[in-house]
């Protein structure tokens, strides 16, 4: 006779409510976050908001060459990509802290042995 799976629906509901609040708070934090990226030579700097908008772009005059606009375009894209990468890394960190405990609850639903659920503490990001 297979073992019966015991599901603590109360704990599952509590976790869902906690996650809902944590996600809302994280989304607010991410909206106020900004990250700065640089081109490979450091001559172009871009700042991107948590909702992926470019909010600042700084270009050193020495890279503005009317005969080589493609170089400037590459540098601008490098800086923006670098800033986006930082925002995405921070977003992943924030949301993995929220959803990390869900794995153990779902393992119990699937009949797998799970470790006791631990409620992760989300550290608030403080913009510079």
What pLDDT digit, counting tens, does each position of 11-49 carry?
878 877 888 888 888 777 888 889 999 999 999 999 999
Tally Cβ neighbours within 10 Å of residue 14.
Answer: 13
Question: What is the pLDDT confidence band of residue 72, given thresholds at 50, 70 and 90?
Answer: very high
Map out the domains of the chain as residue ranges. 9-109
pLDDT, one tens digit per residue, over 50-64 is: 888 999 999 999 999
What's the fold here for domain 9-109? Ybab; Chain: A; (3.30.1310)
Q: What is the 3-state secondary structure (H, E, C) of 83-122?
A: HHHHHHHHHHHHHHHHHCCHHHHHHHHCCCCCCCCCCCCC
For residue 124, the model assigns a pLDDT of 44
Question: What is the pLDDT confidence band of residue 91, given thresholds at 50, 70 and 90?
Answer: confident
Rounded to 5°, the CA angle 55-57-58 comes to: 145
Question: What is the pLDDT confidence band of residue 96, given thresholds at 50, 70 and 90?
Answer: confident
Residue 121 or 5, more confident: 5
Q: Which of 75, 83, 78, 87 is nearest to 32 (CA)?
A: 87
């Amino acid at each position: 006779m297979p073992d019966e799976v015991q599901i603590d629906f109360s704990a599952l509901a509590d976790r869902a409510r906690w996650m809902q609040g944590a996600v809302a708070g994280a989304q607010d934090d991410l909206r106020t976050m900004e990250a700065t990226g640089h081109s490979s030579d450091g001559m172009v700097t871009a700042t991107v908001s948590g909702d992926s908008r470019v909010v600042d772009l700084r270009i050193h005059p020495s890279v503005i060459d009317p005969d080589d606009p493609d170089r400037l375009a590459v540098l601008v894209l490098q800086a923006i990509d670098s800033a986006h990468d930082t925002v995405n890394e921070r977003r992943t960190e924030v949301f993995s802290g929220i959803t990390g405990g869900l794995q153990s609850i779902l393992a119990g639903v699937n009949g797998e042995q799970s470790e006791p659920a631990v409620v992760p503490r989300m550290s608030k990001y403080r913009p510079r």
